[in-house]
A and B are shown apart, each in its own frame.
Chain A
């Protein structure tokens, strides 16, 4: 009995591993963030549009908000832009932009041409803030709850569907829990 069951079980296990590996929806570059459940790292930078203006995420404490990391060099961010503009029209949560590995002028031009979905856009000139957030690409989007904790990280462009399925329920839950 075991003689047949054991190889069969091994085959099923291997097939399951391969199925997981071949799943086209799985992003092999998406890594779990160790920041989940931890206090959101500080953002204390200047505004892309106005270097004299400070952007500080401490000002958003007590609110559920989103931090969206992007750069003009990032093609997927261009894809995401339309969805973000639509999301910003819903006025659900403040969206803080974090410009990463980029030039101020280019980022400014991007926002002027394509529209600005952000409540505030911070310019990370030396990448130090991004390191504190564990950013390793763009776009990356973090959800921070009312207690100032990171509760979710999404790696890949946000779409209307992702917003509906991944963000809205978590935002509602964070507000209910706060």
Chain B
């Protein structure tokens, strides 16, 4: 049933579009369909469609947590894509759409969460690790520079007992 709901409608629309475009090809009178979405479920406005792709790629599907809602076939992802599409058509900004999602699902819903008191560690940890590495290397280099060299003639003048 879910399969039919997920693929049935687009498939049917695709077949209809194919037949229709073939018959109407010479006159090129593919009349504009009503509404902001075309037969493929994409937004007709290419700017909005590009924003749609950008936004849905950054939203995590919470059911299958390593997929974005752009990639996921889960029903919730479909519902959230519809929500994003509707908000874009309503003229909402990217920030407003992301805020809508994080207000409901938390920062985890974004693959690139906004920098905040709760998320600074995620963004800061690579730099903290880098700093730690630098400190460790500096310490090692300093200690070694104080050690005598292997081919130090001064060391050779004291043969091992």
Residue on B nearest A41 in the bound complex, by CB: B104
**Which of A25-33, A110-118, A157-165 touches B?**
A25-33
User: Closest CB of chain B to A156's CB: distance in Å?
Assistant: 15
Q: Which residues on A sit within 8 Å (CB–CB) of B79?
A: 126-128, 130-131
Q: Which residues on A sit within 8 Å (CB–CB) of B106?
A: 31-34, 134
Q: Which residues on A sit within 8 Å (CB–CB) of B62?
A: 31, 136-137
Contact of B63 among A32, A133, A137 (CB under 8 A): A137
Contact of B65 among A29, A32, A34, A35 (CB under 8 A): A29
In the assembled complex, the Cα of A10 lies from the Cα of B65 at a distance in Å of 29
In the assembled complex, the Cα of A24 lies from the Cα of B152 at a distance in Å of 59
B95 at the interface (CB under 8 A from A): no
Give the contacts of A140-169 with B (CB-CB under 8 A). none
A109 at the interface (CB under 8 A from B): no
Interface centre among B102, B106, B108 (most CB of A within 10 A): B106
Query: Is A34 touching B105 in the complex (CB atoms < 8 A)?
Result: yes
Query: Is B63 touching A136 in the complex (CB atoms < 8 A)?
Result: yes
Count A/B pairs, Cβ under 8 Å: 38
A101 at the interface (CB under 8 A from B): yes
Residue on B nearest A38 in the bound complex, by CB: B103
Interface centre among B62, B102, B107 (most CB of A within 10 A): B62
Give the contacts of B48-81 with A (CB-CB under 8 A). 62-63, 65, 75-76, 79-80
Contact of B103 among A29, A32, A34, A137 (CB under 8 A): A34
B83 at the interface (CB under 8 A from A): yes
A132 at the interface (CB under 8 A from B): yes
Contact of A136 among B76, B83, B102, B107 (CB under 8 A): B76
Known contacts A31-B106, A137-B63; 11 additional CB pairs below 8 A are: A29-B65, A31-B62, A31-B108, A33-B106, A34-B104, A131-B104, A132-B104, A134-B105, A134-B106, A136-B76, A137-B62
Chain A residues with a Cβ under 8 A of chain B: 29, 31-35, 101, 126-128, 130-134, 136-137
Q: Which 8 A-B pairs have the closest CB atoms?
A: A136-B62, A134-B104, A127-B79, A34-B106, A134-B105, A101-B75, A31-B108, A136-B76
